[in-house]
Chain A
Amino acid sequence: MQDVQESRLTHGTGALGRVTKRTGAAKRTKRENQEERIGWLFVSPFVIGFVLFTVGPMLVSFVLSFTDASMLKPAVFVGFENYVNLFSTDEIRSLFWRTLYNTSYYVLISVPLGMAVGFGMAILLNQKLRGQGIFRTLFYLPSIIPPVAVSLLWVWIFHQEFGLLNAALRVVGIPGPAWLTSTAWAKPALILVSLWGAGGGLLVFLAGLQGVPTDLYDAAKVDGAGAWSRFWRVTIPMMSPTLFFVLVTSIIASFQVFVTALIMTNGGPANATLMYVLYLYRLAFVQFRMGPASALAWAYFVIIMGFAGVLFFTARTWVYYESDLLGGKKK
């Protein structure tokens, strides 16, 4: 990913071809100074916003995480107490490990499955097929529906007696579980809902597939590669930057799962679907325990960055960029 971003950046500045027009050295400096000032002026809204709404709050949150801040009384410094309580395995003091387990379970199953479904559909759609556009629109449709509406719809679908899903299961002779009220099936139910929206990644995959040069497939055919080995030796390596991008963004996005967990199960039954952000929301905005909640938020930040860091690190071994291939460098 770092390589990608570098190439993006150089692409941007490389497009500037105004240097040729300038003549005198003094004139150039004056103009460059002016451009420097105006440049900062143009991007200043972002800079101010970044300081006010990202850097500032993150620092404040860090400080708060060492206090017992609540909305009711002035904050008192408590040292590492919040963190000690947070990482406690005693569930009366903290549900951190429970929520981390629930969220990881959700992320580690829904992301790979969702990507496999999206990628598979994209490969099928990446042929000369009639109705390609219609299929693409259909698969994307669930991603347009507001999460609240999605959640309400699926609560009704999962209804144990009168819901559609168990009715369908009954037809094939399977007695459906209690889904959202069952500790065993509530998490899989939320994962099913996320899979329904797997078409969001399909668009990105499809565009990526259409960018794979045809002559690579031709060359592979000439070398005697069958469809299977063309898929593994051409499609997958050429798609690896896209796969990587979707992997990182979907992990970060599904770690934030909130609305479905709040509306469909409200974390239940018996905390089986208490997701990280839902717990954070409860601590901060239901119980107004801002200090412990800030510690939870910082732990969350570190976990997400850790995930991303590990992915970026391993990416070097499996993500191929065209620039590497052109340079003949093999990994």
Chain B
Amino acid sequence: MTTLVQAPRSMSPISLRKVVSYLVLTVGAVIILIPFIWMVSTSLKPPTELFIYPPRLFPSVIRWQNYIEAPNASFIPLGQAVWNSLLFALPVAFFDVITSAVVAFGFARLRFRGSNVLFFIVLSTMMLPPQVTMIPLFILFARLGWVNTYLPLVVQALFGWNYAIFLLRQFFASIPEELDNAARIDGCGWWGIFLRIHLPLAKAALGIVAILSFTGSWSEYLRPLIYLKDPMLWPLALALQTFQGGKTNRWEYLMVMSILLTVPPLVLFFVAQGRYIQGIVISGVKG
């Protein structure tokens, strides 16, 4: 990102201001970081150091075994839970990307009556809380016998994701028209222009949509809770709190499982950081 170049000032106020800025920012960063440190340190503590007074920010012994014991103590085996998460998060990401791209292309390039109104509807649905439609959808999916399957979590992705439609439309609209015309001269129809020109150029944007969609499903709690009554079907986000024998005070185990849940979104964020941030920002600023 480019930095805004401020109007030139005399030397001393700038440095004083910068010192203060650094100070405030560092305090903020420390406040943000301490809970993370507490999370990691708890996950490495021996059980004897959890309930001591006063609490220690750093453990005296680092106990790596927690990372083996916690998944083993989990009521739903870790591998099963991760597999369950992937079982719906991956198809959702796949369909979110494909369908949203098709719809976004229609909005970005094709002229048809009602497209403005329809696009306005896309934007409006982004403000609609999902809880409003939750009950009838549950009754519908229950009637279809889809409780205890991943279908209720996946099926909506087949029809596009409003946020991704908006993001990709902005992207497609920025692709020069000349490229379309060149492809048209080479004999491409609309579908060809979409597949051969727009999709390849939008690889990065599509990747961001896939990542945002995947991390969203990976972290999702409410819908899996409603639709998956059988704990063996639970994704990791739900499974991480249930230990064999109902152990509830094992904070080191809970922190281990929480960290395991956090690692994939964190890795994806760092892999695609710059573009990830752009993806978050675009909806807020391009307006």
Chain A residues near B (Cβ < 8 Å): 1, 4-5, 8-9, 11-13, 15-18, 21, 32, 35-43, 45-50, 52-54, 56-58, 60-61, 64, 69, 71, 121, 124-129, 132-133, 135-142, 144-149, 152-154, 156-157, 161-164, 167, 170, 196, 199-200, 203-204, 206-212, 214, 217-218, 221, 241-242, 245-246, 248-249, 252, 255-256, 258-259, 262-263, 277, 280-281, 284-285, 290, 293-294, 297-298, 300-301, 304, 308
Q: Which residues of A contact B241 (CB under 8 A)?
A: 148, 152, 263
Within 8 A of A (CB), among B98-152: 99, 102-103, 105-113, 115-116, 118-123, 125, 127-140, 142
Residue contact B120 to A5, C-beta cutoff 8 Å? yes
A-contacting residues, B26-69, CB 8 Å: 28-29, 31-36, 38-39, 42, 50-55, 57
Smallest CB–CB gap between A5 and chain B, Å? 6
* Given known A-B contacts A137-B273, A138-B29, A285-B138, A128 and B190 have beta carbons under 8 A apart: no
Contact call A5/B32, Cβ cutoff below 8 A: no
Residue contacts A-B, CB under 8 angstroms, 18 given: A8-B123, A36-B111, A36-B113, A45-B160, A46-B103, A46-B165, A49-B160, A64-B135, A126-B4, A127-B21, A153-B255, A156-B251, A211-B285, A214-B7, A258-B221, A284-B134, A285-B138, A304-B129
Instruction: A162 to B249: give the CA distance in the assembly, Å.
Output: 12
Contacts of B135 in A (CB 8 A): 57, 61, 64, 284, 290, 293-294, 297
Residue in A1, A11, A212, A248 whose CB lies within 8 Å of B4: A212
Q: Would you call B38 and A284 a contact (CB within 8 A)?
A: no
- Distance (whole angstroms) from the CB of B237 to the closest CB of chain A: 5
Q: Residues of B at under 8 Å CB distance from A?
A: 1-7, 17-18, 21-22, 24-25, 28-29, 31-36, 38-39, 42, 50-55, 57, 99, 102-103, 105-113, 115-116, 118-123, 125, 127-140, 142, 156, 158-160, 162, 165, 169, 173, 177, 180-181, 190, 194, 215, 218-219, 221-222, 225-226, 237-238, 240-241, 251, 254-255, 258-259, 261-262, 265-266, 269, 273, 277, 280-281, 284-287
| Other A-B pairs beyond A42-B102, A245-B284, A297-B135, 18, CB < 8 Å | A11-B173, A16-B177, A18-B180, A21-B181, A39-B110, A42-B106, A42-B110, A54-B133, A138-B33, A148-B241, A148-B258, A156-B254, A200-B280, A203-B280, A214-B4, A256-B130, A285-B226, A294-B135
